[in-house]
Amino acid sequence: MSKRKLQPSASNPNQDYCDFLLELADFEKNVSRNIYKHNAYRKAASALSRHPVRVSSGSEARQLPGVGRKIADKIDEFVQTGRLGKLDKIRASDEAVAIGQLSRVSGVGPAKARELFSAGVTSLEELRRRPELLNHHQSLGLRYVSEFEARIPRTEAAALEGHVCSRLAALDPLYCATVCGSYRRGAESSGDVDFLLTHPAFTSSVNEKPARGSSANQKPAKGSAANQKPAHGAAANEKTGGQLLRAAVDQLKNEGFITDTLSHGDTKFMGVCLLPGERYTVHRRIDIRLVPHDQYFCAVLYFTGSDEFNRQMRAHALEQRFTLNEYTLRPLGATGTPGEPVPVTSEEEIFEYLQYPYRRPEERSL
């Protein structure tokens, strides 16, 4: 089920532990459908990957955040036997192996993988012989499965970011795009490159209008701020997310950078891209999420992560009588009801509001 196995190395002396934990995480997500265990295994693997020395026992591993007794027991079993009984059983299950393989395809979730298995598909090779079972996104995901799984070196991720930002600036210098996730936290390689995009003409108040449609009784979109004023200079030039995202994607398509579309909504685009130049030969999946301008820096903070850093910062926000999420920072009233979003024009301002020492993105991998 695991995409590849690596031995302990100087860069990650606990790589083999991380491998089996991530394989267990995939099983829990795709086969058992237990997201709680999935997240627990991934959190433990993340803590082990950042630990600078080799862990020699479960009790030693338990000193790390996110490593509980059951995971520590698995580490002890692996140290003593060089294998894991639970993984042996998983690998002996035709259904588990098939679902793990099929779930590698972009657009094929656990439910679709089970459906394919029920239809007699047990491998990627068999799936390639049954194209009628896949939609457009899944067909492209199957075509590029190996390329999408390849890690993206930091130098290439930086080139992707630079190319997208320069092409959007040529279209309209008011576009702003940021690559978040582990790349922004300084990782040497990334699994994907996800862009957050914004423009002053698109605010949460603009976003709410199409969400409401013609019904006066329809609830506002999640995270919207109905009474918040648009960014300075944007009121007279309001644009919907669909207009702005479509223009941005068309610009990148015209340059030949985006080669295929996986899906395209009003505020989220997923596609396939390839950097120009002979040195770039691997197609990458590109995700572009358009965020209202007044919510952009809360989104940048949230999608930069890490998950543990976000959890700690949200807990601190509550202590300071604020509620913080990917959309807004809001003060809590005397009854605990969130008030209107406070204006945020940078990540640093969020830290200042919360009286929380600023941490640069590369200091947030907890």
74 catalytic? Reply is yes
CA–CA dist 338, 330 (Å, integer)? 6
Which three-class secondary structure state does DSSP give residue 136?
Answer: helix
Helix (H, G, I), strand (E, B) or coil at 15: helix
Sheet containing 176-179: give its strands across: 176-179, 193-198, 284-290, 268-273, 258-264
The CA distance from 211 to 224, in Å, is 10
Q: Which of 5, 74, 209, 222 is the catalytic position?
A: 74
- As a whole number of angstroms, the distance between CA 155 and CA 152 comes to 8
What are 264's strand-pairing partners?
269
Angstrom distance (rounded) from CA 259 to CA 261: 7
Query: Considering only CA atoms, which of 149, 158, 159, 164 is closest in space to residue 187?
Result: 158
For residue 323, the SS3 value is: strand
Structure tokens at 11: 């860069």
How many residues are there in the chain? Answer: 366
Could you give the count of Cα atoms lying within 13 Å of 251 in the half-sphere of its Cβ? 18
Q: 288 — phi, psi (to 5°)?
A: -125, 120
The span from the CA of 319 to the CA of 41, in Å, is 29
Reduced to 3 states (helix: H, G, I; strand: E, B; else coil), residue 338 is strand
Catalytic residues: 74
